């Protein structure tokens, strides 16, 4: 499951489905917002935003236990370097759990 689907399903689980941005014209300049997920007209990315991830965990009543977290984009099975990043790993765990709840809905 890619990050786009994770965000969509996590938002669904939280009861606040959102939508992806679009390319908009601001003063003759094109601004590409197609990689920005909006919930209630605000950018929402609990994969990058600690506060959004915590609010998601609270909304879904998730129990989060933080220990040794090691994360890479693809994991060690794909030959990527694995870097210690407990904040990112915790956010991703919250979003993945929320996405599974959203998928089951």
Question: What digits encode the pLDDT tens for the residues 16-56?
Answer: 989 999 999 999 999 999 999 999 889 999 999 999 999 99
Is the distance from CB of 102 to CB of 12 less than 8 angstroms?
yes
Question: For the whole model, what pTM was predicted?
Answer: 0.80
31 neighbors 24 (Cβ within 8 angstroms): yes
Domain residue extents for the chain = 3-104
Digit-coded pLDDT (tens) for 56-93: 999 999 998 876 555 444 444 444 555 567 888 889 99
% of the chain surpassing 90 pLDDT: 70
Q: Which residues pair with 84 in a beta bridge?
A: 70
């Amino acid at each position: 499951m890619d990050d786009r689907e994770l965000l969509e399903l996590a938002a669904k689980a939280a009861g606040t489905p959102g939508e992806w941005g679009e390319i908009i014209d601001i003063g003759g300049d094109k601004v590409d917002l197609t990689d920005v997920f909006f919930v209630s007209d605000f950018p929402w990315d609990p994969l990058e935003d600690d506060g959004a991830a915590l609010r998601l965990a609270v909304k879904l009543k998730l129990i989060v236990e933080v220990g040794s977290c090691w994360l890479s984009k693809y994991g060690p099975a794909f030959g990527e370097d694995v870097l210690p990043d407990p904040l990112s790993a915790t956010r991703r765990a919250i979003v993945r759990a929320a996405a599974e709840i959203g998928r089951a809905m």
